[in-house]
A and B are shown apart, each in its own frame.
Chain A
Amino acid sequence: MTSAPLTVCAPRPWTVLPRNLAPLVVAVGFALLLHLWVQPAIGPFRTKVLLDIGINVILAVSLTLVNGFTGQFSIGHAGFMALGGYAAAAITYYGSFRLYGNPAFAGGVLSWTTSQGAFAGPLVGSGDLLFLLACLVGGLVAAAAGYVVGLPSLRLRGDYLAIVTLGFGEIVRVVLQATPKQLDNPAEIAAQPALHLATRLGGALGFISLPFYTTLFWIGLWVAATLVVTYRIKHSAYGRAFLSIREDETAAEALGVPTTRYKVRAFVLAAFFAGVAGALYGHSIGSINANELGFQKSFDVVIMVVLGGMGSISGSTLAAVLLTLLPEVLRTATAHVNQQFHLDLPDLRMVIYSLALIVMMIVRPQGLLGLHEIWELPLLRSLRRKRALP
């Protein structure tokens, strides 16, 4: 019986295929619905808020892989976001120059925001593919950075790791802000080698004049991808290895989990999605500036993960949605009250926002959902159990 190999009776591939592809179909449908129906219905301002929500969901859920599942404390997530964002920006901006001679929008219906006016183009333009490539490369650049940072520093524990990640985020910010001027002369851009262009990132002024490609379609797609990937990881041997590290590193190691390797893997995965989020962010506002992606942004994401509940995918999603909405709602509410009652209340939203967080941490220190997913909460579980009875 010792060392007996597991009996693996794999089901026939076509039997798992439908369940496998279902999330993909749902994701594309969901993204199209958002893009073609929700976006025109809610107008540009609310669309922008939805884009921010999506980006924050990707950031929070990806950080859950590290801070929630693996139990490491990383506070440099914005650094990966910045790296991915700049890499993607360089690809769409300089790539557009190379391909089209200018950095203008060259996409199709999927990337076109209705607020920019009427559009009569193809469903998918070459610009969309360029943007998709930029997102992927942005993610990969961030993932590579995650590997380089993770490999030495994940031997550290607790506070020490936190300090290294914080330092990493700041280094990224400072380096990006020290890059040379962005080029805008088509002839010069055409003449320079790609590696040369990759360093011309605009420095303290930020990387500007990016084409707007990020729409609810792309956000919907990437949010779905992030959620499906993290969910499938959590419910597999891979994810259980992450969780075992959070629970007890010594015991995990004694049970044959190569803890350092898994910590690096969690780090790399989280960095990939943060890089993608950076790419989506830059192309949603048409510019990216490392100054806005400092430790403040990293902390915002950490707060979402902590508030949502460490290790809960649905919890961090929920927290990302709430914490992105709350300041906007408070801002609108203040303006409304001022107008209605002819008052001149100052903008109290940051005060209320902070108070809400403090109250939350006192009332529910384990986060909104604790370690559970939303469908695992006692109330919903009892419902499911009742239904399951014959």
Chain B
Amino acid sequence: MNALLEIANLSIAFGGLKAVQDFSLTLQRGDLHGLIGPNGAGKTTVFNLLTGVYRPVTGAVRLNGRLLNGLRPHQIAAAGLARTFQSSRLFADLTVLDNVRIGCQLRATRGLLATVLRTSRQVGLERGIRARCDELLATFGLAARRRELARNLPYGDQRRLEMARALATSPQVLLLDEPAAGMNPQEKAALRELIRSVRRQFGVTILLIEHDMSVVMDICERITVLDYGETIAVGTPGEVQRDPKVIAAYLGTTDTRAP
């Protein structure tokens, strides 16, 4: 079986700082892979490299064999790579429904003339978008709130809306950047279930950045650990937890006291 997402030797430097070095990762369809590491390890930078926000100095990203390097972010989204953001980047002054609709309309072409004339095709397209958004909002338990402004949602709902919006683009790979940040234990438990069900229901492959070990260790099949931009460990949650380099990166080593 061919790999869905192939990342090979991705590197970027900001001035003298090597933010990410030789990051390689291969995801098969349906994988749920975790990306962890201490603060500043370069996790979000990897996401930004994958989604075209930054251009890598070296390396290649392939989705279904198609090279994504050099594409603009919107082209990468169209290719099937969607993401959420660490800090909420919802369209705060638009309704919940409109937030999802904007993700949805990526696959729905429309011209100015059709828009202005409101052709029957255009009306049908808008109905199609609407129907799909209603479905998504129902899946995420946001249907009742669809007319509310995104800024008025409680925090947990906002995070879920962001996932719904990313899924609206019909991605093949979903990049989640710290979805559990700021959630309480109950919400985290619900999130774990949600991520699992999203993978089942939408058939997406997920790459997950998360600080909360209870979430990552529970739901990810494999985990990559970054520290100072370098990959220090790859393996199952159990393997990673026992890896001395990982423990050192998170807790420090005992030999630092040595002369």
Contacts and interface: CB of A to CB of B under 8 A. Distances in A.
A255 B115 contact: no
B66 interface: no
Interface residues of B: mostly helix, strand, loop or mixed?
helix
In this complex, which of A1, A232, A236 has the most chain B Cβ atoms within 10 angstroms of its Cβ?
A236
A9 B123 CA distance: 9
Contacts of B118: 16, 19-20, 232
Contact of B106 (A11, A15, A20, A255): A255
A7 B98 contact: no
Interface in B171-198: 171-172
A5 interface: yes
Interface string B163-176: 00110111110000
Interface string B117-140: 111111111111101100000000
Interface residues of B, number: 57
B107 A3 contact: yes
B228 interface: no
Interface residues of A: mostly helix, strand, loop or mixed?
helix
Contact of A233 (B51, B102, B116): B116
Interface string B68-80: 0000111101101
Interface of A: 1-13, 15-16, 19-20, 228-229, 232-233, 236-241, 243-244, 247-248, 250-259, 265, 269, 371
Contact of A255 (B77, B108, B117, B122): B77
A6 B107 contact: yes
A5 B129 contact: no
Contacts of A371: 93
A232 B124 contact: no
Nearest to B117: A20
Contacts of B75: 258
A11 B91 contact: no
A226 B222 CA distance: 56
Given A255-B77, A256-B74, 12 more contacts: A1-B202, A9-B127, A10-B125, A16-B118, A19-B118, A237-B126, A238-B110, A243-B102, A254-B83, A256-B77, A256-B103, A257-B106
A237 B204 contact: no
The 9 closest A-B pairs by CB, nearest first: A10-B124, A256-B106, A247-B91, A256-B77, A6-B128, A251-B89, A237-B105, A253-B73, A238-B115
Given A20-B117, A243-B98, A253-B73, A6 B125 contact: yes
Contact of A240 (B105, B120, B125, B202): B105
Contact of A10 (B82, B120, B172): B120
B117 A2 contact: no
Given A20-B118, A233-B116, A254-B77, A5 B107 contact: yes
14 contacts: A6-B108, A229-B116, A233-B115, A236-B126, A237-B108, A241-B102, A244-B94, A247-B91, A254-B77, A254-B82, A255-B74, A255-B103, A256-B77, A256-B78
A251 B90 contact: yes
A13 B168 CA distance: 28
Contact of A1 (B121, B129, B131, B201): B201
A236 B115 contact: yes
In this complex, which of B74, B75, B124, B201 has the most chain A Cβ atoms within 10 angstroms of its Cβ?
B74
B40 to A, nearest CB: 20
Contacts of B172: 2-3
B101 A2 contact: no
A371 B108 CA distance: 26
B144 interface: no
Contacts of A244: 91, 94, 102
Contacts of A3: 80, 107, 170, 172
A13 B123 CA distance: 10
Contacts of A16: 118-120, 123
B203 interface: yes
B91 A6 contact: no
